[in-house]
Structure 1
C-alpha cells in the first residue's frame, strides 16, 4: 500500500503547517479527529480522551510514551465549523512554554479529504525545540495510523 505523504513546512517565525490527503470523506475524517473512541484507535498510545466539542468547550488527552511516562495535553475549542474547521488552544501538562494555537481545516474533492493543520507556537524557540524532539516524525506515524483506520471504516 502506497501511503500519502505528509507535507510539513515551517511558516513564518513560529508556525508549522502539516498537510495530508486521505482517501475518505470529510465527515469520516472529522469524526476520527473528534470522537474519543476513534481517536483511541489511531492517535499514539492514547490512555484517555475527553472532548467537549463546542466553542468554549475543553479537551484533554493523555498519551503513554515508549518509556512509560504519561503526557497530558489540554486546551479549549475556540471555533468549530462542522465538518470543516476547528481552532483550538493546546498546552502540555508536564511542560508548558505557552499557548499553542492549532487550526485544522478539512476540504473534500471527489472523495479525497485534505487535512491542513497549522500550529502557531508562542516563539520560534518553542517551535524549534518541538521539531528537534521529533514532533514531525511522530505526526507521520499518527497520520499513517489514521489512514489505516479510515480505510477500515469505509
Structure 2
C-alpha cells in the first residue's frame, strides 16, 4: 500500500501532496467522479459521509458532510472550476468551520505505466495562518485514511465489484 506524501511548504501558504495507486488513471478518476464511489472512500476511517451534491464537471460544485463516531458534523463545499477527465481538476475547497477561508486546489492524474498512477495535488490558501490551521488540524491523517479507503474501492473495482456500503 502506498503512503500519502504531504509537503507543507515553509513560509508559503501552500500544501502539496502525492499518492500512488495500483490502478489505472481511468479507475482513480472514476472513483473521484462517481457519487456512489466517492461516498465509499471520501473521509477518515470511522466517519460516515453524506453527500448533498457532487457534480464533477467544469462549473460544477459539491457539498458533503463528514460525521464522526460521536455524531459531530464537519461540512465542506466548493466549486469545480476546470475538470479534464482522467487528467486534471481545479477546485475550491471550503470547510464550514472556517467559512472565510477558501483554498484553491489542483489535482493531477499522472499515468505511471503498468496500470499504476500518481495523484498530485497542490493547495493554495489565502494566508499562512489559514494554511497552518488546515495542516495542524488533522488534514493529513484524514486524507491518508481516505486514500487508504480508496485503495479498497479500487481493489473491489478491479475484482468487478463496484458498490458496497459506506463503513
TM-score of the two chains, using structure 2 as the length reference: 0.85
CA RMSD in angstroms comes to 1.4
For 2:89 and 2:7, locate their aligned partners in 1 and report how far apart those are by CA, in whole Å. 20
Structure 1 residues not aligned, in runs of 5+: none
Segments ≥4 residues shifted beyond 6 Å: none
1:78-105 superposed Cα distances (whole Å, 9 cap, x missing partner): 1111111000011122322321101110
Cα deviations by residue, 1:115-152 (Å, 9 ceiling, x for unpaired): 01111111111111122111111111111111111011
* Structure 1 residue 54: Cα displacement: 2.1
Q: Is the 8 A contact 1:104 1:115 kept in 2?
A: yes
Which blocks of at least 5 consecutive residues in structure 2 are unaligned?
A: 159-167
The aligned residue for residue 132 of structure 1 is: 136
Count matched residues. Answer: 152
Query: Which residue is equivalent to 2:152?
Result: 148
Offset, 1:59: 1.2
What pairs up with 1:100-139 in 2 under 5 angstroms? 100-108=103-111, 109-139=113-143
Q: Distance in 1 between matches of 2:110 and 2:74?
A: 31
Instruction: Name the counterpart of 1:69.
Output: 72
How far apart, CA to CA, are the structure 2 residues paired with 1:53 and 1:139? 19
Matches of 1:140 and 1:86 in 2, distance apart? 19
Match of 2:24 in 1: 25
Identify which of 54, 58, 76 aligns with 1:55. Answer: 58
So what's the TM-score if we normalise by structure 1?
Answer: 0.92
Contact 1:6–1:140, Cα closer than 8 Å, also in 2: yes
2:6 maps to which residue? 8
The alignment partner of 1:38 has SS state of helix
Cα distance change, pair 151–49 in 1 and its aligned pair in 2 (3 A): farther
